[in-house]
Amino acid sequence: MSHFSLRTPIAALALTLGAAALTAHADTLKSENEIRPLTDKIMAQAGAGRTDDAYGAMSPYALIDIRALEVARTNARSSRMAIEAQVGNSIGYEFIRSEKVGDSLLKLTYIEKTEKQAIPWQFIFYKTPAGWGISAFSNGDNVDALFDH
C-alpha cells in the first residue's frame, strides 16, 4: 500500500500565525461559550468545500495581521482544485477535541472530511482584555499528529 500525502498542494494552505503582528480592529468573542459556535460555522463552510467562505468567517476574529490571513486565503483559493483532484470533494467535518491551557489559551481541532482523506484544521484562541480572538490557525495533511495524545 502506498503512502498518501497532501504535502505539495496543501503546503500553501498550512499557516500558523501565532507570531504575527496584532491587528488593531479585530472583533472578539465576549465569552468562551461563543468559540465553538464560531469554529463550527467556519468548519461548516470548509466541509461544504467553500474554503474561501471559511476564511471569510474567520477573518473578523483574527488577532493577526489581516494581510497574512488574506495571503493564506488566496493560496487556499488557488490550491483548492489541486487538493480536490487528490482527495476528492469535501463531504463534511468532524469536531475532534478542545484543549485549554490556563485561562487564556484554547485550541479546537477538527477534520475536514473529503472522499479520500481527512484534513486537520486547528484554531488557537487567545483571551485578550477585550475578549477571545484567533491567535493561530493551521490546516494541512498531518493527520498522524491527531493521534499524538
20 located within any domain: no
Range of the domain at 79: 27-147
12 vs 117, higher pLDDT: 117
6 located within any domain: no
48 located within any domain: yes
Q: How many domains does the chain have?
A: 1
DSSP letter (8 states) at residue 134 = E
Question: pTM for the complete prediction?
Answer: 0.79
21 located within any domain: no
Q: pLDDT per residue over 93-111, tens digit each?
A: 999 999 999 999 999 999 9
Considering 11-15, 33-37, 57-61, 72-76, the range whose residues carry the highest mean pLDDT is 33-37
10 located within any domain: no
Instruction: Label residues 88-119 b or e (16+ Cβ within 10 Å = b).
Output: eebeebeeeeeeeeeeeebebbbbbbbeebbb
106 located within any domain: yes
31 located within any domain: yes
The CATH number linked to 60 is 3.10.450
